[in-house]
Structure 1
Amino acid sequence: MNFRFQNLLGAPYRGGNAVVTNNTLLISPVGNRISVTDLIKSETITLPCQSSSNIARIAASPDGLFLLAIDDNSRCLFINLRRRVVLHRISFKKPVGAVKFSPDGALIAVAVGKLLQIWRSPGFRKEFFPFELIRTFADCDDKVTALDWSPDSNYLLAGSKDLTARLFCLKKLSGFSKPFLFLGHRDTIVGVFFGLDKKSDRVSRVYTLSRDGSVFSWSYSGIDGKVDGVGGEGSEPPSPGTPEQRPDQIDESNFNDNVKKRKNFDAGESILEEESEGLLHRGKWELLKKDYFMQAPAKLTACDYHRALDLVVVGFSNGVFGLYQMPDFVCIHLLSISREKITTAVFNDLGNWLTFGCAKLGQLLVWEWKSESYILKQQGHYFDVNCLAYSPDSQLLATGADDNKIKVWTVSSGFCFVTFSEHTNAVTALHFMASNHCLLSASLDGTVRAWDLFRYRNFRTFTTPSSKQFVSLASDQSGEVICAGTLDSFEIFVWSMKTGRLLDVLSGHEGPVHGLMFSPTNAILASSSWDKTVRLWDVFEGKGAVETFPHTHDVLTVVYRPDGKQLACSTLDGQIHFWDPIEGLLMYTIEGRRDIAGGRLMTDRRSAANSSSGKFFTTLCYSADGSYIFAGGSSKYICMYDVTDQVLLRRFQITHNLSLDGVLDVLNSKNMTQAGPLDLIDDENSDAEEGVDKQTRGKLAYDLPGSMPNRGRPVIRTKSLRIAPTGRSWAAATTEGVLLYSIDESFIFDPTDLDIDVTPEAVDAALSEDQPSRALILSLRLNEDALIKKCIVAVNPADIPAVTSAVPFKYLQRLIEAFADLLENCPHMEFILRWCQELCKAHGHTIQQNSRNLLPALKSLQKAITRLHQDLADTCSSNEYLLRYLCSTSTKK
């Protein structure tokens, strides 16, 4: 019951800007969530917090503790990255074009439409409203698109759509009522950056980059006319600026008085007098040179500047990126990494890694420009994920999608390590073989393919005499027979895995065969079809349909319980039917129409309560022990039912993203116009100007009966549900991507056989008195994870057989779960494996008799042992080759 959101796979990046903190942590928006990738450990996690719509802008504090995330509706979340919680929320009135923390972390600059707002950064202080607006600059004539702070946090550069860049001073000084203007660009400003003089470590340059591919370099000269840094007095004539800001028109006495009265915005206290010659308003700004990237007709869509290395990286709408040494404008790299526009480009702290994102393709790349090698290369599915499959050891997860691709992910790290793209049409079904290194896939292109996960190749392809469209897939326990159901001919094809020959064609259904599954205990195949029947087939005996279970509505999917003694199927009227496959009797029926109902589409003319569309389950999945069942469909909810009592245990809302259709239960009538819903009317071409395409998701041609058409906005739905064999986690293929939920590892107080004498002190006393059996049983009664592990580690290796024999059966599951956790986290590998061995010797018969109840815990233990074995095998192989190399070199010498 205690499943919580763990991670999001299948969509590493969907738009917005990415940031890198602490040199190795890459933070990127994924829809309305935030993904954090550790580039050293090669792990990615998705924060559990959600925004109300797709996130457009993010900014991280200099120390990497806090994150600002602003969505398309201008709602902002202030997140503590370490604790992964939302500390504060605020809503800005207009769309935010840029946001950035000051270098000292005290202030936040937010570009709200034409306005530039300076806010005091919230901290750990408990306040009623921690966001405090310090200043507002209203000098820009159009939307602000780019920001940059000076290193001392006193000045701010802002680029705008009005083709200008402006230099703002945070201090209120007389004579400086208006910002300095940097003029001359002929297109929207994409980036503005301060440059430093390496000798004096002061601001000496400004770089402004515009969308047409031009970069202007501006040099700063003091009040005596001497240029700080690059350039000189006669390098270029001074650029046209704001007349009232020139030094010869400044009242010197008023200026010095105002410098002494400068305000500290964070604490509200006055600060020390600052040297007047260090202020940027004291001198002149001159246009040093104009350079052009020469990538027309492509537009510059993303850029970043590394101040210490004086490097500029730029990305273009044709997928080309360039790295340039400034101020000499020397091209270091000019490469193409995509055929679509680059929507974000950013340096890490050291400047040796470049991060690029392509929203349309879902690509996220980290490239080391010195060695010209990839640090990270991840790409999500271009269209919706249709099917999922867990490997038998629960370490791998395979996904198939409408983009004709199959991706295999490592569940623990969240990384995709192989992509298969041989299919020429949408992948509709996946199945892992029991061997753990063979994956089967079915597709609408008329083929079923077998993939080798050792050599990463397609080693067998199953076809039919005439082309068919496969939508379901199954394999028996031995892995000798492969079956696939079709969409068009309503047949089930049977192949031999060893030879690849077509063995049989099962006919009898009169509609598409969307559900197919072998019994876990025998060779009986169950199939469900839109012809309102579920049929059982004896594939090996060749008797055809053994039994038929009729229904009153179309049957959408069918699944077996893990012990093979029950069959569940969902129908178009929103019901789940449970059958006894041996007796052929209907056991239970769950009415789920009201449970899955919710969410109104923009195009619906009826309310969510009165609409009949989407009120049925398209995918089902039993738990590892078969006691409850998950059900999902064309809704924002995934339902979890108790099978025996037929009651709803819990409803998971998979997203709160209002950018998707079907999330709101009640639509606002103010947004309805004569031309249709206001949200579906695109009256401006802003997506092309900003360099971000509004992606509309693909859709298969065989949508379920009663489903509504999608007119431009993705509709939230669940296409596939799978629970891990360990029972500790489950995955859902949704419009948002693949959502992973797992049991929370935090301590849950679930006491059994407690009395007044069962305390942590009693456990410590038993350990001190050398009574390991008593201490372990007391800790198991308390059910506190830390105490159980402490007692396990405290047992003498010679006493393990005696202690395992004394453990009652009802504590075996908890003890096995503790072993699985210890194997993954503690260094005493042989010690824990000996515990497992003695436990199997002492309770082997009992474990075998109660395998159904203990199966999730045993699968977790198997997963931990398999992972440990793989790590050791890799280490031993590496050591063996290293020793061979050392021996060969010593022999030569």
Structure 2
Amino acid sequence: MKFAYRFSNLLGAVYRSGNLTFSKDGNSVISPVGNRISVFDLKNNKSETLPVSTNKNITCVGLSPDGNLAILVDEDGAALLVSLITKAVLHHFHFHKPVASVRFSPDGRKFVVTKENVALMYHAPGKNREFNAFVLDKSYYGPYDETTCIDWTDDSKCFVVGSKDMSTWVFGAERWTNLIYYSLGGHKDIVVGCFFEKDSLDLYTVSQDGTLCVWKSNTELDGLVLGKTRKTVRAEDEDEEEERGEGEEGEPRGEVIRGKADQHKEKEGTQNVRYKQASKHFFNKEGEFNNLTAAAFHKPTHILVTGFASGIFHLHELPEFNLIHSLSISDQRIATISMNSSGDWIGFGCSGLGQLLVWEWQSESYVFKQQGHFNNMAALAYSPDGQYIATGGDDGKVKVWNTTSSLCFVTFTEHTSSVTNVTFISRGFVIVSASLDGPVEPSTCTGTVTSGRSRLHGQRSSRP
């Protein structure tokens, strides 16, 4: 007998780790859940998990500007190129080392991957008709420690990389005569976010100790001058490159660009791009918000969103650094922040709770609020009509999931210890659960009551 089983959807978790990404239209949020990717449609209130998976948990998601392709990278550096239209894997690739971030250029022609202290720029798949979907163009060296974040200019001419060594590096995507690389200091902790201003080389950098630096450039984007497209790499640099381990398993190194602490000299007739620190701001001088963990910047509206380990997030308007909102999601660390294309919705991911939130800051209301079991799931039961699934976890919670939308619509928190079993009664309107917090005593009841340490739950339509 043959069974045509196929993967349908993923229930019980909405976020685990990695970065959140909004779709091109801004109506859906793409969330990594373990080794899979779930797409939550916020307009139609439903979710879908793609039928693709990696061997280990996904840590980085890069979405192409047209919204058709996604690059998924797991914690070992294994990558999948996935079509979001056909929901099929187009290419497998391995970066050999853990990847910190992936970001497509705004024109969709290239993407940058950061691993360890190097930034690798690849030609985007489908643009050059290459047999290999990932063709390495350039390798950029500059930071002494691991890289943390990436951002591109709006015209895709330059990108910026933040590092754990407290430095920020601006690199040219092409061999600009007046900008090959530029190093910025000014921080005393790990750089968490770096963002270009709209249609400008001006920069904002945010560090883990709650410091914001505003950098002004002396050159406009149209002031970049294109020089030679390729330069010969010195023999000693080639030898050093082999020592660094690039080119593993026959992977081409591309053009190698090495940034150094001392800036290169200006050539005759050209003025190099220079930066100066225009201002410096602190989120809290008393030190209450000195563990900044995530940041996002919406260029059209100049809104900066920052999240902290305490579960608090801030909204500031830049460059004046005017505080708009300061709210608390929970008491857990905010792992990632993302904003949709219109800048109205802000997505937050808390890995400690397995929590995914989407907040509309102008109306100060939640658009989406979901949380899975943050401990092991110990029990599961289908309703008699198959429309609902009840789950019990070691976190003491009983959750009810809709099999059509794949979303949790009610959570019961009466138990104080691990839930060992859940079941629906014959009509499906009451759930009976047992837990390790005490003996189960039989009783006759109606509605939602508690008998001993056994809980009987009536359905309700409140959100978790």
Whole-angstrom CA distance in 2 between matches of 1:290 and 1:106: 34
Residue 367 (str. 1) matches residue 359 (str. 2): yes
C-alpha deviation, 1:316, in angstroms:
0.5
Q: Structure 2 vs 1, CA of residues 402 and 116 (structure 1 numbering), >3 Å: closer, same or farther?
A: same
Residue 326 (str. 1) matches residue 318 (str. 2): yes
Whole-angstrom CA distance in 2 between matches of 1:118 and 1:12: 31
Aligned partner letter, 1:408: V
Whole-angstrom CA distance in 1 between matches of 2:37 and 2:290: 30
Whole-angstrom CA distance in 1 between matches of 2:214 and 2:193: 12
Q: 2:376 maps to which residue? A: 384
Residue 20 (str. 1) matches residue 22 (str. 2): yes
Whole-angstrom CA distance in 2 between matches of 1:222 and 1:426: 61
Residue 303 (str. 1) matches residue 295 (str. 2): yes
Kept in 1, the 8 Å contact 2:283–2:289? The answer is no
C-alpha deviation, 1:125, in angstroms:
7.8
Q: Structure 2 vs 1, CA of residues 59 and 448 (structure 1 numbering), >3 Å: closer, same or farther?
A: farther
Q: Structure 2 vs 1, CA of residues 14 and 324 (structure 1 numbering), >3 Å: closer, same or farther?
A: same
Q: Structure 2 vs 1, CA of residues 426 and 288 (structure 1 numbering), >3 Å: closer, same or farther?
A: same
1:182 to 177, 181, 184: 184
Kept in 2, the 8 Å contact 1:93–1:112? The answer is no
Kept in 2, the 8 Å contact 1:185–1:210? The answer is yes
C-alpha deviation, 1:174, in angstroms:
4.7
Residue 216 (str. 1) matches residue 213 (str. 2): yes
Aligned partner letter, 2:434: A
Kept in 2, the 8 Å contact 1:298–1:318? The answer is no
Q: Structure 2 vs 1, CA of residues 59 and 458 (structure 1 numbering), >3 Å: closer, same or farther?
A: farther
Q: 2:249 maps to which residue? A: none
Residue 408 (str. 1) matches residue 400 (str. 2): yes
1:289 to 264, 279, 285: 279
Q: Structure 2 vs 1, CA of residues 318 and 298 (structure 1 numbering), >3 Å: closer, same or farther?
A: farther
Aligned residues: 411
Cα RMSD (Å): 2.4
Residue 87 (str. 1) matches residue 54 (str. 2): no
1:358 to 343, 350, 368: 350
Kept in 1, the 8 Å contact 2:77–2:95? The answer is yes
Q: 2:425 maps to which residue? A: 433
Aligned partner letter, 2:163: S
Q: 2:307 maps to which residue? A: 315
Whole-angstrom CA distance in 2 between matches of 1:118 and 1:282: 23
Q: 1:5 maps to which residue? A: 7
Q: 2:78 maps to which residue? A: 75
Residue 335 (str. 1) matches residue 327 (str. 2): yes
Kept in 1, the 8 Å contact 2:315–2:326? The answer is yes
SS in 1 for 2:334: coil
Whole-angstrom CA distance in 1 between matches of 2:95 and 2:182: 26
Whole-angstrom CA distance in 1 between matches of 2:147 and 2:176: 23
Residue 131 (str. 1) matches residue 148 (str. 2): no
Whole-angstrom CA distance in 2 between matches of 1:66 and 1:449: 55
Whole-angstrom CA distance in 2 between matches of 1:124 and 1:214: 39
1:115 to 111, 115, 118: 118
Q: Structure 2 vs 1, CA of residues 250 and 6 (structure 1 numbering), >3 Å: closer, same or farther?
A: same
Whole-angstrom CA distance in 2 between matches of 1:169 and 1:125: 20
Q: 2:202 maps to which residue? A: 205
Q: Structure 2 vs 1, CA of residues 4 and 125 (structure 1 numbering), >3 Å: closer, same or farther?
A: farther
Whole-angstrom CA distance in 2 between matches of 1:449 and 1:176: 75
Kept in 2, the 8 Å contact 1:403–1:425? The answer is yes
Q: 1:393 maps to which residue? A: 385
Q: Which moved more, 1:214-223 or 1:130-139?
A: 214-223
Correspondences of 1:436-475 after superposition (within 5 Å): 436-446=428-438, 459-463=448-452
Q: Could you say which structure has the greater relative contact order, defined with CA pairs below 8 angstroms and 6 or more residues apart?
A: 2
Whole-angstrom CA distance in 1 between matches of 2:51 and 2:130: 24
Whole-angstrom CA distance in 2 between matches of 1:318 and 1:384: 24
Q: Deviations over 1:599-626 (max 9, x none)?
A: xxxxxxxxxxxxxxxxxxxxxxxxxxxx
C-alpha deviation, 1:413, in angstroms:
0.4
Q: 1:531 maps to which residue? A: none
Kept in 2, the 8 Å contact 1:441–1:449? The answer is no
Q: Structure 2 vs 1, CA of residues 442 and 312 (structure 1 numbering), >3 Å: closer, same or farther?
A: same
Kept in 1, the 8 Å contact 2:182–2:263? The answer is no
Q: 1:764 maps to which residue? A: none
Whole-angstrom CA distance in 2 between matches of 1:124 and 1:297: 44
Aligned partner letter, 1:361: L
SS in 1 for 2:8: strand
Whole-angstrom CA distance in 2 between matches of 1:175 and 1:42: 50
Q: Structure 2 vs 1, CA of residues 308 and 159 (structure 1 numbering), >3 Å: closer, same or farther?
A: same
Aligned partner letter, 1:416: C
SS in 1 for 2:119: strand
Whole-angstrom CA distance in 2 between matches of 1:148 and 1:125: 23
Whole-angstrom CA distance in 1 between matches of 2:433 and 2:212: 50
Q: Deviations over 1:108-134 (max 9, x none)?
A: 100021111100111288753221000
Q: Which runs of 5+ in 2 are unaligned?
A: 224-259, 458-464
Q: Percent of pairs identical after alignment?
A: 39
Q: 1:603 maps to which residue? A: none
Residue 57 (str. 1) matches residue 47 (str. 2): no
Whole-angstrom CA distance in 1 between matches of 2:7 and 2:412: 28
Whole-angstrom CA distance in 2 between matches of 1:85 and 1:114: 32
Whole-angstrom CA distance in 1 between matches of 2:364 and 2:424: 36
2:170 to 162, 167, 171: 167
Q: Structure 2 vs 1, CA of residues 154 and 222 (structure 1 numbering), >3 Å: closer, same or farther?
A: closer
Whole-angstrom CA distance in 1 between matches of 2:201 and 2:439: 64
SS in 2 for 1:62: coil
Whole-angstrom CA distance in 2 between matches of 1:331 and 1:306: 15
Correspondences of 1:642-681 after superposition (within 5 Å): none
Kept in 2, the 8 Å contact 1:366–1:376? The answer is yes
Residue 48 (str. 1) matches residue 38 (str. 2): no
Q: Structure 2 vs 1, CA of residues 57 and 462 (structure 1 numbering), >3 Å: closer, same or farther?
A: same
Kept in 1, the 8 Å contact 2:153–2:201? The answer is no
Correspondences of 1:699-718 after superposition (within 5 Å): none
Whole-angstrom CA distance in 2 between matches of 1:145 and 1:420: 38
C-alpha deviation, 1:190, in angstroms:
0.7
Q: Which runs of 5+ in 1 are unaligned?
A: 197-201, 227-240, 256-280, 451-456, 474-481, 483-496, 498-893
Kept in 2, the 8 Å contact 1:55–1:71? The answer is yes
Q: 1:629 maps to which residue? A: none
More helix by share: 1
2:267 to 250, 253, 261: 250
Aligned partner letter, 2:275: W
Aligned partner letter, 1:460: V
Q: 2:229 maps to which residue? A: none
C-alpha deviation, 1:181, in angstroms:
1.3
Q: Structure 2 vs 1, CA of residues 188 and 394 (structure 1 numbering), >3 Å: closer, same or farther?
A: same
Q: Structure 2 vs 1, CA of residues 162 and 20 (structure 1 numbering), >3 Å: closer, same or farther?
A: same
Q: Max radius of gyration: which structure? A: 1
C-alpha deviation, 1:251, in angstroms:
2.4
Aligned partner letter, 1:2: A
SS in 2 for 1:141: coil
Q: Structure 2 vs 1, CA of residues 164 and 124 (structure 1 numbering), >3 Å: closer, same or farther?
A: closer
